[in-house]
Amino acid sequence: MKIFLDHANPDIIKKYSPIIDGVTTNPSLIAKEQCFSGYHDAIKQIVSLVDGPVSIEILSTDAAAMIREAEELASIYPNIVIKIPVGLDGFHAMKELTQKGIRTNATLIFSVNQALLAAKAGASYLSIFIGRLDDTGQDGVSVVRDTVQIVKNFGFQSEVLAASIRHPLHVLQVALAGSHVATIPPGVIDQMGKHPLTDKGLEIFLNDWKNAEKCDNF
């Protein structure tokens, strides 16, 4: 499973760049950062930080403007993936951009039907917001699992991307569900790598060696 970092801060992205396969952002994540002079400045800074795919959401809302905005960005940044909200305008834009060889990330997916239409439109990634679904009492991981099955059933080229991840169990669950990608906040990545028994085991190893150095036969 590929791991993308879900963040827009350049320093955070640099810190995790050795262990991630790409980056996803959205207007809210970018708006939180004070280090940009504007949306295009944010794009310029972020896209240059990793070699892998960087998803940047366009701000246009009608198909024609989406396509124009996407073409302009794709002409400047080769590793950019254009994030487009699902909906009729979005599907139209995804279809045309795919035909032009521009990668798209269908975002704000909350149902398998939305994912199916985005896959048919040729979206490179299908971003399913599992945390927000869970927040409403729905089972976000099941939408990932069913979408993975549909992609397999019909041989769609889209990759299922689990987003809105809240904790390490979400990562485990979407990995078991066969998600191609998980985009993960930095704090959750940190939690994934930790376990109290690891810390305790290392402490014991180092103490045992430290004590052993005092023996005469070393």
Nearer to ligand G3P by C-beta: 29 or 96? Answer: 29
Establish if 164 lies at the interface with ligand G3P (CB under 6 A): yes
CA dist 68 and 15 (Å) reads 33
With CB under 6 A as the contact rule, the residue among 3, 6, 70, 80 that binds ligand G3P is 6
Candidates 8-16, 21-29, 84-92, 210-218; binding stretch for ligand G3P (CB under 6 A): 21-29
CA dist 182 and 16 (Å) reads 15
Q: Is-contact 171 190, C-beta < 8 A? A: no
Tokens of 77: 């940044």
Classify residue 33 by its DSSP letter: -
CA dist 161 and 153 (Å) reads 17
CA dist 15 and 188 (Å) reads 14
Q: Give the active site residue among 44, 83, 95, 100.
A: 83
With CB under 6 A as the contact rule, the residue among 163, 171, 181, 189 that binds ligand G3P is 163
Q: Which residues make beta-bridge pairs with 184?
A: 5
Active site annotation includes 15 = no
Nearer to ligand G3P by C-beta: 73 or 184? Answer: 184
Candidates 68-76, 84-92, 128-136, 150-158; binding stretch for ligand G3P (CB under 6 A): 128-136
With CB under 6 A as the contact rule, the residue among 115, 140, 183, 184 that binds ligand G3P is 183
Establish if 52 lies at the interface with ligand G3P (CB under 6 A): no
Establish if 114 lies at the interface with ligand G3P (CB under 6 A): no
- Report the chain's C-alpha Rg in angstroms: 20
Establish if 124 lies at the interface with ligand G3P (CB under 6 A): no
With CB under 6 A as the contact rule, the residue among 106, 129, 147, 158 that binds ligand G3P is 129
Instruction: Return the exposure string of 95-112: e unless at least 16 CB atoms fall within 10 Å of the residue's CB, then b.
Output: bbbbeeebbbbbbbbbeb
**Residue 203 CA to its chain's centroid (Å):** 34
**Strand 125-129 relative to strand 159-163, pairing:** parallel
Establish if 4 lies at the interface with ligand G3P (CB under 6 A): no
**Minimum distance from residue 155 beta carbon to ligand G3P (Å):** 26
Give the catalytic positions in this structure.
Answer: 83
Q: List residues near ligand G3P by CB under 6 A.
A: 6, 24, 26, 29, 129, 131-132, 163-164, 183
